């Protein structure tokens, strides 16, 4: 590829990405700004500001809660040795295989007012009413803490594993005690990991839709507010709300990104991580192991709940603490009735297609700008690939909806609303950051000398790509692809805005099953999603 052709290819690709991820946002911002009524309505209604503030404080509280659970766990599992550490250490990452929406309904079945725990407590205390209602901010935070502490746990563990033991020893040799070493050396060295996790949790919580949608009740955050406003038919106001949420997201992203700092912190480290210290006192060791297993059981309860509820035939479970009848009838119906199988098939094809396209686009990006030189368009391409991550899913869903509801080929807009294409397109955009990041990182680790070696052995550009680059990128592709596939399979946020009757995905089907009280069917779909996610992630992580 000569230089000019390469430059043209980069420019063309940048434009394509810009059209996919930036253009819809621009349209929403433009439309929102153009509608002065909606703007005025937004500014003057105190409810709007309250909802926006709710989004912010829920996200901040989620960060605090997730850190409070995840960080101590990471230290426990990385620094101490006790029976069962390895098994427990991987069990503890389990919430990952539960797609957000499935996790939410599992919580509903478990801790909701007619869930197992509430029923048990009610029976135990002989109460006439359920002891609590799982609703409002507390319920949302509970779900967030459960599903998001994993980010803190995993990133802190990774940070601790990279820590140089001699740093800690140096501090001790200089007279610093255990707490002082933690405060003055360990935590500052972990800052990039902690800030990275905080960023992940904040953005995830800000974009979180399922938990507020199911548990919010009267308590609204911006993601649910946008969808409600849209359902009310006030599309211009929904767009203003979208822009407001996007602004908060970008602001939070920029703020947290600044504290993340640079990787230079680890650049000096050459030593090995501290050895794990066995817990010596038998009592403490037993306590750690018991507490660890108890915690793992708590983590596993939502998964088990889903499985149990999926075995409950329709209408067979009323006031008992545990369901009296269990059978596979829900699964039989799922797989034998075409109408019920349909959402499964829909989700599969849409997830597969969008993942494939997201991986392909990431590969193109990698081929164009993955190497060290030349630099043209590298920044814009990377930024465009990452952009959908910095914005909540609702924002993108609404932006795509707006952009592709108008036929105007001159401005590159076509009517896709009402077609089955729009939802997979939404999945694709949402997944670009995941595949893009994985593939670009993979490309960066490739030794450029390999290309040159292949060329010197007579391999052409395409042969080099197929026989050298692609096999070496395979782990990165598998990792990025599996994460994208799981996200698309379990998606609820994008789906609820963009689905049509012809491509109803699983999450929407779960929702409508819940509406008609077909708990068993809803749980059955949840179990299927959970298993699919587990399998896909397991395959993706294999080397």
User: What 3-state DSSP class applies to 220?
Assistant: coil
**Residues 133, 162, 191, 371: which binds other proteins (CB under 8 A)?**
191
CA distances from 519 to 139, 316, 358, 486 (A): 20, 11, 34, 23
Dist. CA 88–CA 409, nearest whole Å: 56
Q: Compute the distance between CA of residue 469 and CA of residue 204 in angstroms, rounded to an integer.
A: 33
- Considering the complex, state which of residue 141 and residue 171 has its C-beta at the smaller distance from other proteins: 171
Which one of 1, 37, 120, 177 is in contact with other proteins (CB under 8 A)?
177
117-125: long-range pairs with CB below 8 Å, 24+: 119/320, 119/321, 120/321, 123/321
For the purposes of burial, counting CB atoms within 10 Å of the CB of 107, is it exposed (0-12), middle (13-18) or buried (19 or more)?
Answer: buried
Residue 493: closest CA among 226, 243, 265, 311: 226
Closest CB to other proteins among residues 5, 264: 264
Q: Are strands 277-278 and 413-415 parallel, antiparallel or unpaired?
A: unpaired
Q: How far is the CB of 268 from other proteins (least distance, A)?
A: 5
- Nearer of residues 174 and 450 to other proteins, judged by Cβ: 174
226: closest CA among 216, 214, 218, 234?
234
DSSP output for 177-242: -HHHHIIIIIHHHHHHHHHHHHHHHHHHHHH--HHHHHH-TT---HHHHHHHHHHTT-HHHHHHHH
375: its two tokens:
């630099």
Strands 80-81 and 413-415: unpaired
Residue from 180, 320, 337, 452 in contact with other proteins (CB under 8 A): 180
Q: Which of 54, 56, 118, 171 binds other proteins (CB under 8 A)?
A: 171
379 binds other proteins (CB under 8 A): no
Which residue, 383, 358, 346, 388, is CA-closest to 484? Answer: 358
Name the β-bridge partners of 81: 278
Verify binding: residue 164, other proteins, rule CB under 8 A. Answer: yes
Q: How far apart are CA 201 and CA 196, in angstroms?
A: 9
Choose, by CB under 8 A, the member of 64, 124, 174, 535 that binds other proteins.
174
Site for other proteins in 45-84 (CB under 8 A): none
Nearer to other proteins (CB atom), residue 266 or residue 321: 266
* Cβ distance to other proteins smaller for residue 270 or 373: 270
Binding region for other proteins (CB under 8 A) out of 10-18, 179-187, 359-367, 514-522: 179-187
Element (H, E) at 405: strand 405-408
Point out which span in 95-103, 141-149, 175-183, 473-481 binds other proteins (CB under 8 A). 175-183
Q: How far is the CB of 286 from other proteins (least distance, A)?
A: 24
3-state SS of 345-361?
HHHHHHHHHHHHHHHHH
Binds other proteins by CB under 8 A, chosen from 268, 282, 338, 449? 268
Residue 267 in the binding site for other proteins (CB under 8 A):
yes
The count of chain residues that interact with other proteins, using the rule CB under 8 A, is: 26
Q: Enumerate residues 246-265 that contact other proteins by CB under 8 A.
A: 264-265
For residue 349 the two structure tokens come to 């094809």
What minimum distance in Å lies between the beta carbon of 41 and other proteins? Answer: 48
Looking at 32, 189, 256, 521, which residue binds other proteins (CB under 8 A)? 189
3-state secondary structure of 413: strand
175 near other proteins (CB under 8 A): yes
Question: Can residue 167 be called a binding residue for other proteins (CB under 8 A)?
Answer: yes
Residue among 167, 214, 162, 218 at smallest CA distance from 192: 162
Q: What is the C-alpha end-to-end distance of the chain, expressed in Å?
A: 33
Q: Cα torsion for 144, 147, 153, 155, to the nearest 10°?
A: -90
Q: Which stretch binds other proteins (CB under 8 A): 15-23, 174-182, 319-327, 471-479?
A: 174-182
Min. distance of Cβ 113 from other proteins in angstroms? 49
Q: Tell whether residue 172 is a contact of other proteins (CB under 8 A).
A: yes
Task: Determine if 270 is a binding residue for other proteins (CB under 8 A).
Answer: yes
For other proteins, the binding residue among 137, 176, 364, 386 (CB under 8 A) is 176
Contact assessment for residue 105 and residue 526, using Cβ atoms and an 8 Å cutoff: yes
Point out which span in 186-194, 308-316, 348-356, 366-374 binds other proteins (CB under 8 A).
186-194
Which of 3, 125, 173, 410: binder of other proteins (CB under 8 A)?
A: 173
234 phi/psi in degrees, rounded to 5: -90, 70
Helices (H) and strands (E) in the chain, counts: 27, 4
CB of 40 or CB of 170, closer to other proteins: 170
How many angstroms separate the CA atoms of 407 and 413, rounded? 6
Site for other proteins in 90-129 (CB under 8 A): none
- Give 270 or 407: the residue with its C-beta nearer to other proteins: 270
Nearest CB to other proteins, comparing residues 16 and 187:
187
- Closer to other proteins by Cβ: residue 162 or 285: 162
Interface region with other proteins, contact rule CB under 8 A, candidates 43-51, 161-169, 222-230, 412-420: 161-169
Looking at the Cβ atoms of 37 and 169, the one nearer to other proteins is 169
What does the binding site for other proteins look like in residue numbers (CB under 8 A)? 164, 166-167, 169-177, 180, 184-185, 188-189, 191, 264-271
């Amino acid at each position: 590829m000569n230089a000019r052709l390469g430059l043209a290819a980069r420019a063309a690709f940048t434009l394509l990405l810009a059209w996919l991820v930036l253009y819809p946002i621009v349209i929403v911002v433009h439309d929102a700004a153009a509608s002065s009524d909606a703007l005025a309505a937004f500014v003057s209604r105190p409810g709007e500001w309250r909802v926006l503030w709710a989004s912010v404080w829920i996200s901040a509280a989620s960060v605090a809660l997730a850190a409070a659970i995840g960080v101590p766990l990471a230290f426990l599992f990385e620094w101490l040795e006790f029976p069962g550490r390895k098994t427990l250490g991987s069990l503890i990452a389990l919430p990952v295989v539960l797609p957000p929406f499935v996790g939410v309904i599992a919580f509903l079945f478990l801790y909701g007012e007619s869930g197992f725990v509430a029923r048990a407590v009610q029976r135990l205390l002989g109460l006439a009413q359920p002891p609590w209602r799982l609703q409002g901010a507390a319920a949302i935070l509970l779900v967030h803490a459960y599903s998001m502490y994993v980010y803190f746990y995993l990133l802190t563990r990774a940070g601790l594993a990279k820590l140089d033991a001699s740093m800690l020893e140096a501090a001790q040799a200089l007279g610093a005690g255990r707490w002082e070493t933690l405060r003055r050396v360990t935590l500052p060295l972990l800052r990039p990991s902690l800030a990275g996790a905080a960023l992940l949790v904040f953005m995830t919580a800000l974009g979180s839709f399922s938990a507020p949608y199911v548990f919010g009740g009267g308590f609204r955050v911006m993601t649910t507010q946008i969808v409600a406003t849209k359902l009310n038919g006030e599309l211009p106001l929904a767009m203003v709300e979208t822009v407001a949420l996007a602004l908060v997201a970008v602001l939070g992203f920029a703020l947290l990104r600044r504290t993340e700092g640079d990787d230079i912190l680890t650049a000096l480290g050459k030593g090995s991580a501290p050895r794990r210290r066995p817990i010596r006192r038998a009592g403490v060791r037993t306590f750690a192991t018991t507490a660890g297993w108890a915690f793992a059981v708590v983590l596993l309860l939502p998964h088990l709940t889903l499985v149990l509820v999926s075995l409950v035939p329709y209408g067979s479970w009323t006031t008992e603490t545990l369901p009296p009848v269990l059978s596979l009838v829900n699964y039989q119906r799922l797989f034998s009735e075409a109408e019920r199988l349909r959402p499964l098939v829909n989700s599969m094809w849409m997830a597969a297609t969008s993942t494939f396209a997201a991986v392909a686009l990431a590969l193109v990006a990698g081929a164009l700008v993955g190497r060290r030189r030349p630099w043209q368009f590298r920044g814009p391409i990377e930024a465009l690939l990452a952009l959908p991550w910095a914005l909540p899913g609702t924002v993108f869903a609404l932006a795509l909806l707006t952009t592709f509801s108008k036929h105007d080929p001159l401005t590159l807009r076509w009517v896709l609303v009402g077609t089955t294409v729009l939802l997979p397109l939404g999945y694709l955009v949402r997944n670009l950051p995941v595949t893009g990041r994985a593939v670009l990182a993979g490309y960066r680790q490739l030794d450029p000398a390999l290309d040159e070696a292949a060329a010197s052995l007579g391999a052409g550009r395409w042969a080099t790509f197929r026989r050298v680059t692609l096999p070496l990128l395979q782990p990165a592709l598998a990792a990025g692809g599996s994460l994208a596939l799981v996200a698309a399979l379990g998606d609820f946020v994008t789906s609820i805005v963009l689905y049509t009757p012809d491509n109803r995905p699983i999450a929407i089907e779960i929702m409508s099953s819940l509406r008609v009280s077909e708990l068993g069917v809803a749980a059955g779909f949840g179990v299927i999603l959970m298993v699919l996610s587990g399998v896909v992630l397991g395959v993706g992580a294999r080397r």
